[in-house]
Structure 1
């Protein structure tokens, strides 16, 4: 696979779309006020006077902190029911173990169902409008969850929490691909996703502190967990309306030339380095067509990646929803159980960023993903093999420290191998949406009657991790074979049969496309 890493490598532009354009740079690049439409002959060398690292730093500072905050609150709000449970939610609402598990499960049904539509709406309604809007909605639902009085009230609240939260994670995961190149994306995904790990740490700390409000205004401590965290989400959403940017073409913090450079470099990724410049694949048209969505549903790699996704998402939700309960059932008090989750999540967040940085530098995804899945097997094997609290806690610690670095890699790997913005949008939403049905399964892995050892839950996690490893290996060997076949066809001159427009329409199925391993 060849991709450019600096502004000095030349790639000729075949596309010439200049609507009300004027030459603002004096170098032959054309701008239309909505971004760049480059004329024939423009190359990356045209932007060699720009500092690429400085531009990336500007993007990081303006995008990542706000996105991380949004996801921190999202993950906090969907997982805090586990903290509320050990503070008395189940007893106060008279929930049976099965009823509690159903309240966890229904979230994922609506969460999965609304992810693809939400990602398509993201393109239509702009991220700076759509993301804060759904955030206000789920913050309101979360706040109202603090006043539910019975099983049915909690069940309905969790259903609507799934509807309103559905668009955030797939939306942001896709949104980042509209700013960063393939060899840069996992580090940014990890910075964003590590907020989930930090949320786990904050969840324990906040629950420990908020539970002290028990009896305030006549409400139990677990109710205040929902109410205060829901209000915090709404406040953050209001800020997001003013802070979030949409796409590089309209970024207020970039100059016109910087916008042009960011858009340009995104268009010419994953192309074989020995292709004649007259046949370089251009970016897929941004006009929406249902064929782009349909092509995602027909793409085999997305369905295989969903199985791989289950291999990490089932452990993720198993840990996030049940970690406080698992630790408490080892013999610790509720307060200590809340606090003992903190070092696990902090360590996992740090490792997620480190692994992502190395993965981007190496330009590989699969070696890290498969290795981390093997570490997951070690962690859950420790949990299932003994009732010793120290060994089980160590196993859970190891497991979390593999889950959080692996998750951004799984998301980034599929994003790296889908071409065309609408297909990538739909494909990522499918992976995350259908994949999150694994959360519905994981919500029922750790049954109350199986405590304190939870052998069934740990065994099921091991089974899904094994399936994830197999799926990852299938992708690796398939990508290697496809890349070799395309190189052979190019060497035989088959590329001459296609125009630039035909290559563009084929997206990641074009002879010029090389899958990332």
Structure 2
């Protein structure tokens, strides 16, 4: 098969009749029914998965077996791994309500430094990790990462001083680097563009549910301290770290290795999640939607690919959106339980009450992700998330000036925490569908997660000890960033919209860019090529 042509035009096609590719029209190339494709994606129907166009292909061995299609296989495994990441990264917020600062002899500002070091470790190794993923393969590399940071998270329980705290936080960040962009890129090879935002939202459910339930889990674990002379926060790191290692082993055992290989490790090659016919549909439907995905996760990323992506202005705007959106999110998620505790609640109850906002965010991001895919318009959904943030942080800031009761102040904290990464999650999906080449998508996913973690560095400095307990300066900073975010999102959406108008004009003169990939040959030996005119998604 020939390589991917990112921006070919008709003028680039050779005039020699023997070498002219046969352009495959999308409507005729899909030699399966919509019912078959829906069955592969989400549900299993009692249809015979056999097509006259593909003699010799197999039908399902058991038409009445339980649902086990792509969405129910891939997404839960990926989301579970993300749950583990957020659990080990975010449990410091629960530890702060216990005796960790007293036991280690540190202050809130020292905790902030540790948070910055964790984010620094992630940012430094994000792109190298994603390049390594392309060489090793996502199944092996992501599994090793999960087990690795699970072990680091567990051994945090043995620290006894400030230097030990800083070292373990930095190593934890290094171990976690690359997982999110690697998982996002892997998901992009399984799904079409019009399915991306909702599936990415489901993937991020692992993050959101962790943020929601870790407070509840933490509340229970902290109540164990000081059992057997071990403080509650140490039990927190031990138990949640062991859970992560177990999740890493489950990930390795159950994840399908690649789009063309549905046999997980646990099968020992004796069975597959998908029949040959289903595997054909899974691979072909994605290719017809985006020919650039021809090579899946087996691509080579060069220094030139990195440099071209890093300096692409459209990608940089998406990076700015995530950077701006995630800074206040990181801040309020870390200190939300502490703010609630300052309202007069004990540590266990404050952690439990902090989870309410996270559960609201789960519903919010799923609804907005579904609407973005349904309408094929990403910018309106992203702007909605930004407007929510402005309203929430306005209320939170106003509550600090007095006159608000405990209930109203708690509600303000909850709705500010409900903005949990909504804009960032939708922005990731928006960027993914606007990457022209697979190399660009792989690097861009790393860049946008780097931005989110760089925002963690900034966010860890928003709440300062001298600003307690009202944190007026912190809430003002969060509100300012949220307002700026609306402007940037609107500008990016307008940029894509007017760029498409320009492309439509070029299409009339046959100079519009296309993405193309050769997918085989005709019986006469001519190459068969999938070609699609490129359009930006706004």
Q: What TM-score do you get using the length of structure 1 for normalisation?
A: 0.85
Q: Which residue is 2:37 aligned to?
A: 52
Rounded Cα–Cα distance in structure 1 between residues aligned with 2:144 and 2:479:
38
Aligned length: 465
Structure-2 change in CA distance of 1:96 and 1:513 (3 Å): same
Deviation at 1:501, TM superposition (A): 6.9
Rounded Cα–Cα distance in structure 1 between residues aligned with 2:301 and 2:286:
21
Do 2:320 and 2:451's aligned partners in 1 also have CA atoms closer than 8 Å?
Answer: no
Task: Say yes or no: does 1:455 pair with 2:472.
Answer: yes
Specify the SS of the correspondent of 1:114.
Answer: helix
Rounded Cα–Cα distance in structure 1 between residues aligned with 2:419 and 2:225:
35
Do 1:211 and 1:224's aligned partners in 2 also have CA atoms closer than 8 Å?
Answer: yes
Deviations along 1:266-292, one digit per CA (max 9) or x if unpaired, are 22337xxxxxxxxxx655665414133
Do 1:312 and 1:403's aligned partners in 2 also have CA atoms closer than 8 Å?
Answer: no
Rounded Cα–Cα distance in structure 2 between residues aligned with 1:90 and 1:49:
58
Deviation at 1:365, TM superposition (A): 1.0
Structure-2 change in CA distance of 1:204 and 1:498 (3 Å): closer
List gaps (5 residues or longer) in structure 1: 1-14, 18-37, 271-280, 503-509
Specify the SS of the correspondent of 2:158.
Answer: coil
Deviations along 1:209-237, one digit per CA (max 9) or x if unpaired, are 11122122321111100111001111111
Q: Which residue is 1:288 aligned to?
A: 300
Do 1:330 and 1:452's aligned partners in 2 also have CA atoms closer than 8 Å?
Answer: no
Task: Say yes or no: does 1:256 pair with 2:276.
Answer: yes
Rounded Cα–Cα distance in structure 1 between residues aligned with 2:293 and 2:377:
23
Rounded Cα–Cα distance in structure 2 between residues aligned with 1:197 and 1:383:
21
Task: Say yes or no: does 1:345 pair with 2:345.
Answer: no
Q: Which residue is 2:346 aligned to?
A: 333
Deviations along 1:467-494, one digit per CA (max 9) or x if unpaired, are 3222212211111121111111120232
Deviations along 1:120-179, one digit per CA (max 9) or x if unpaired, are 222221221111101111111111101100000000000001000112211112211111
Q: Which residue is 1:268 aligned to?
A: 288
Deviations along 1:222-275, one digit per CA (max 9) or x if unpaired, are 1100111001111111111111123211123222232222222222337xxxxx
Q: What TM-score do you get using the length of structure 2 for normalisation?
A: 0.82
Do 1:383 and 1:458's aligned partners in 2 also have CA atoms closer than 8 Å?
Answer: yes
Stretches (4+) displaced over 6 A: none
Structure-2 change in CA distance of 1:16 and 1:99 (3 Å): closer
Rounded Cα–Cα distance in structure 2 between residues aligned with 1:498 and 1:349:
37
Do 2:205 and 2:362's aligned partners in 1 also have CA atoms closer than 8 Å?
Answer: yes
Rounded Cα–Cα distance in structure 2 between residues aligned with 1:139 and 1:298:
35
Task: Say yes or no: does 1:221 pair with 2:232.
Answer: yes
Task: Say yes or no: does 1:134 pair with 2:145.
Answer: yes
Q: Which residue is 2:336 aligned to?
A: 323
Task: Say yes or no: does 1:408 pair with 2:408.
Answer: no
Deviation at 1:47, TM superposition (A): 2.1
Query: Equivalences for 1:112-511 in 2 at 5 Å?
Result: 112-252=123-263, 253-269=273-289, 283=293, 287-290=299-302, 291-387=304-400, 388=404, 389-495=406-512
List gaps (5 residues or longer) in structure 2: 4-20, 43-68, 264-272, 519-530
Do 2:318 and 2:431's aligned partners in 1 also have CA atoms closer than 8 Å?
Answer: yes
Do 1:179 and 1:266's aligned partners in 2 also have CA atoms closer than 8 Å?
Answer: yes
Deviation at 1:378, TM superposition (A): 0.6
